Amino acid sequence: MGRNPYQTCTVCGAPAEVSAAINAELAKPPGERMKLRDMEKLCHISKSAISHHTRKCLPKHILSTYRSTGKVDLKNRRVIVEWPDIGSGHHRFTLCFEYNHHGKPIERQQYEPIELAAGQLRDSDLLLVVEYEQKPIRNPGALLSPEQRGRS
């Protein structure tokens, strides 16, 4: 079953102090912030809802907060997501939002991720870094093909 497009984000719809606490925790550098599953236990909001909020709502929330307080000039700024490439150890960069010389978002007809090379990054870019948590495999035998399982 798909997500209802009219449903609001669980974190955004939570009481103001709860969503503010989650946003403050998510604003910390990845090594310093609480893990999503620990946040889930504290606030009783699923880690998938918090993850969705991080990807979909938090960048807009941060930018709108900075825009309203005047702390960041959005003129000619871009929001870029840095994705880890697990196999090669290199990172991929995807352009998410781009602002014109008036600080207004540049609208695109269709949203297609725009891949950027590391050399195309600018000093003025806002970079959102994605890091994956690595956990041990609990049932390694499940990853074997039927032929491999028969041999062991």
Q: What is the pLDDT of residue 45?
A: 92
- For 69, residues 6+ apart whose C-beta sits below 8 A from its C-beta are none
pLDDT at 125: 82
Calpha distance 48→56 (Å, rounded): 12
Q: Which residues are CB-neighbours of 40 under 8 A, at least 6 positions away? A: 46, 47, 50
3-state secondary structure string, 77-90? CEEEEEEECCCCCC
Report the C-alpha dihedral over residues 52, 29, 92, 38, rounded to 10 degrees: -40
Question: For residue 1, how far is the Cα from the chain centroid?
Answer: 23
Domain regions of the chain by residue span = 1-72, 73-135
10-residue stretch averages of pLDDT, the chain, 152 residues long: 62 87 79 86 89 78 60 73 77 82 75 82 82 76 74 57
Half-sphere exposure of 136 (CA within 13 A, CB side): 2
- In the chain, what is the straight-line distance between the N-terminal and C-terminal CA atoms, in Å? 39
Helix axis angle for 36-43 and 16-26, nearest 10°, is: 170
CA-CA distance, 18 to 45, in Å (whole number)? 10
**pTM higher than the cut 0.85:** no
